[in-house]
Amino acid sequence: MTGRNLRVNGERLWNRLMEMAEIGATPKGGVCRLTLSDEDKRARDLFAEWCRAAGMTVEVDAMGNMFARRKGRRAGPAIMAGSHLDSQPTGGKFDGALGVLAALEAVETMNDAGIETDYPIEIVNWTNEEGARFAPAMVSSGVYAGAFSLDEAYGFTDKSGATLGQELERIGYKGALPVGGRDWKASFEVHIEQGPILEREGLPVGVVTGVQGIRWYDVIIKGDEVHAGPTPMDRRRDPVRGLHEVLAGCYKAAAEQGEWMRFTVGDLKAQPGSRNTVPGVVSFTVDLRHPQDEVLDGMEQAMREIARKAGDAHNLDITVERIWNSPPVAFDEACIASVETAAQTCGYATRKLFSGAGHDSVYVARVVPTSMIFVTSQNGISHNEAEYSSPEACKAGADVLLHALLDQAGIVGE
């Protein structure tokens, strides 16, 4: 098959997804492949092996980002596609990995059909998209786009105190290439939806027009450590009392912002963590998301005011520090049109979607025209070992990616 009739090999794509999922496999059927872990290194090595077997050259930059290139008739610019291979601690098989391996499958399908493109195709595996080990998320694509400096990113630490720079060196993926400045014409990323909309509406493909804004915060509530028995309740500076008021107030404020507001507390700690000691410090993280910056501004202001009042009421020191801000992103109209045309060519029904999750495409869109392709997630479950997208859903995403790439790269002779 050539041209409009070309389709990917869904069985080969699925087999590769399952083989990749064996690296860091968890007992409940998910994966734990944290950034720059030994499992991440094994995944990178396997991906590089597959790319070289497909006739591609593989390069690595100073942030460990991997670039596998299929040459075109012209030297550049390339059409880029990719995602990430790192996972959450109890993640699924498809988040990120589908985008990387769907791009590889698109290239192999071109190889099988003997298709030469006018422009090169380049597959990217971005380092530390998840942010599960080194916060914030999407660090390496952020360095690529100039949102973080290289030295800043190298200094990010995990919970054990290891730095990102040290771990890049440890696993042998601190490359010599500079970060940024590659010659790209367009960028595409296939991803599971991580939400219920496509499945609910019985649609195989989502055309992603943008990504909502995301802000991360660290909240610290400081009181006094005292014995749980002798200390009367009214003599305590108990940070848990402040925690109760802050969370209740924030959840109420989030509900008042409408259906698109997302307020999440994902990590909460009490120190020293002793059953019979009133904690001296309680800390927690906040993830805020909404498609409009002005709504996020309002929610942040409300959160700070709630924290201030709780601190005054209970004689506590409460700080709210914003550690990351990813503004809402609108994707490129021409790339969106390429995805829509590709889906029509393949006979897949679509709808336009705004992504609720952050992706490397958020930062990539700052430096190259970009869009994304969503496929169905069963029950909308993601960041969970139960995450599942069917072989048919994965193939649909890869088919649409294939034709979007061909639309932008051009087929020699057509």
Is residue 141 within 8 Å of 189, Cβ to Cβ?
Answer: no
Grade residue 260 by pLDDT with cuts at 50, 70 and 90.
confident
pTM above 0.85, yes or no: no
State the Cα–Cα distance between residues 331 and 221, nearest whole angstrom. 39
What average pLDDT does range 168-195 have in this prediction?
Answer: 97
Architecture of domain 214-326: 2-Layer Sandwich (3.30)
Residues 6+ apart with CB under 8 A from 344: none
Amino acid at 25: A
In the block, tokens 């610019």 appear at: 77
**Furthest-apart CA pair in the chain: how many Å?**
85
State the Cα–Cα distance between residues 294 and 239, nearest whole angstrom. 31
State the Cα–Cα distance between residues 400 and 266, nearest whole angstrom. 34
Distance of CA 368 to the CA centre of its chain: 18
State the Cα–Cα distance between residues 388 and 69, nearest whole angstrom. 29
Q: In 3-state terms, what secondary structure has residue 378?
A: helix
Amino acid at 392: E
CA distances from 220 to 61, 217, 249, 323 (A): 36, 10, 16, 13
Grade residue 326 by pLDDT with cuts at 50, 70 and 90.
confident
CA distances from 112 to 115, 131, 265, 309 (A): 8, 36, 47, 65
What phi and psi values does residue 252 have, to the nearest 5 degrees?
Answer: -65, -45
- Mean pLDDT across the chain, nearest whole number? 96
* pLDDT of 1 over the 50 cut: no
State the Cα–Cα distance between residues 144 and 313, nearest whole angstrom. 45
Kindly state the helix (H) or strand (E) to which residue 80 belongs, with its residue range. Answer: strand 78-84
What phi and psi values does residue 361 have, to the nearest 5 degrees?
Answer: -60, -20
* pLDDT of 2 over the 60 cut: no
CATH of domain 3-212+328-409: 3.40.630.10
CA distances from 136 to 92, 128, 133, 141, 237 (A): 20, 9, 9, 11, 31
Pairing of strands 329-330, 213-222: unpaired
Helix/strand/coil percent split, the chain, to 5: 35, 25, 40
Is residue 412 within 8 Å of 113, Cβ to Cβ?
Answer: no
Grade residue 224 by pLDDT with cuts at 50, 70 and 90.
very high
* Percent of the chain clearing pLDDT 70 (strictly above): 99
Q: In 3-state terms, what secondary structure has residue 167?
A: helix
DSSP 318: E
What average pLDDT does range 90-113 have in this prediction?
Answer: 98
Pairing of strands 281-290, 268-271: antiparallel
Is residue 283 within 8 Å of 218, Cβ to Cβ?
Answer: yes
H runs (alpha helix) in 67-138:
97-113
Q: Is the peptide bond before 239 cis (omega within 30 degrees of 0)?
A: no
Report residue 15 as tokens. 């087999």
Give burial (CB, 10 Å; 0-12/13-18/19+) of 201: exposed
Q: What is the pLDDT of residue 414?
A: 62
* pLDDT of 413 over the 70 cut: no
Rg (CA), the chain: 23
CA distances from 245 to 170, 239, 306 (A): 44, 10, 8
Query: Could you state, in order of their start, the residue ranges of all structural domains in the chain?
Result: 3-212+328-409, 214-326
Q: What is the pLDDT of residue 350?
A: 97
* pLDDT of 278 over the 80 cut: yes
Grade residue 412 by pLDDT with cuts at 50, 70 and 90.
confident
What phi and psi values does residue 205 have, to the nearest 5 degrees?
Answer: -135, 135
Grade residue 181 by pLDDT with cuts at 50, 70 and 90.
very high
Grade residue 3 by pLDDT with cuts at 50, 70 and 90.
confident
- Taken in order 343, 344, 348, 353, the sign of the CA dihedral is positive
What average pLDDT does range 105-133 have in this prediction?
Answer: 97
pLDDT in tens, 53-84: 999 999 999 999 999 999 999 888 999 999 99
Q: What is the pLDDT of residue 259?
A: 81
* Terminal Cα-to-Cα distance of the chain (whole angstroms): 14
Is residue 204 within 8 Å of 348, Cβ to Cβ?
Answer: yes
State the Cα–Cα distance between residues 51 and 105, nearest whole angstrom. 10
